[in-house]
Structure 1
């Protein structure tokens, strides 16, 4: 489940059941690894798109 969904569901349950947020918000190591890989991939692609002449030539009028 994406991070924003985990936060949302944990918040709703926490408020609805009057229990601490931490009881419902747990992140597994695999989820952390996926987020790190996604962030690194995004950083590489964003840098490429912003600096590439090929991209600039393709998407300019």
Structure 2
């Protein structure tokens, strides 16, 4: 049995579903990257730069 080609409403629905999924996935990725990852990395980098500065000054225990 052959499969019918995707036409009409099914094709429009499929394109809409894929477009929405890609759009929401991209938005979620940007939200995670700029809302969670970047602040976490910035906090970590500040911590390590503070330790390096203390070591350079000789005040680190």
TM-score normalised over the length of structure 1: 0.45
Greater share of helix: 2
Radius of gyration: which is bigger?
2
